[in-house]
Amino acid sequence: MKSQLTKWTKIFLICTCFAVSILGFMVKLPTGFRHFDKELHAVFYFIAAAFFNILFTNKNLLGHILIFGSLYLFGLSIEYAQEYSNKVFQTRIHGRFDPEDVQYNLKGLIAFSILWIIFVGFLFVYNKRPIKEVVAKDD
């Protein structure tokens, strides 16, 4: 199935998502969400990996690995940017570099990768079945 989105639409979506993400990660969480910070990191990176894999990879392993690595480096960069912003602005805008946040980013990426591998494996096996068997079962 060919994607209906143009290259420029995809670029716009990526830029918008990264801008919103950077803004969201650089500002303190509202008080009600602070107890779920780690879980929110995992969920965000799970959803981001799903979004980018659906948008770009078309079940391509190399594309999946590239997205995984890029999102991991993005999460690491955001953590360093939080620490750096505290020094530049001489005030705490967000927090500090938190290795646990990076671990939960990775957990979200790994969780999606496991789901992605199972899904792609299922599609691979399903598409390898003989056509007569598939048609007979669908009738």
Higher-pLDDT residue of 137 and 96 is 96
Domain membership of residue 35 (yes or no) is no
Q: Between 130 and 87, name the one with better pLDDT.
A: 87
Give the chain's mean pLDDT. 82
Is 120 within the bounds of a domain?
yes
> Residue 38: which H helix or E strand, with range?
helix 37-52
Domain that holds residue 134: 44-138
pLDDT for 3 equals: 52
- Whether 94 is covered by a domain: the verdict is yes
- On whether residue 31 sits in a domain, the answer given is no
Q: What is the pTM of this model?
A: 0.76
**From CA 130, how far away is CA 136, in angstroms rounded?**
10
Per-residue pLDDT band for 134 (boundaries 50, 70, 90) equals very low
Q: Per the domain annotation, does 114 fall within a domain?
A: yes
Q: What domain count does the chain have?
A: 1
97 exposed, middle or buried (CB, 10 Å; 0-12, 13-18, 19+)? Answer: middle
Res 1 pLDDT > 90:
no
Q: Is residue 28 part of a domain?
A: no
Tell which wins on pLDDT, 116 or 129.
116
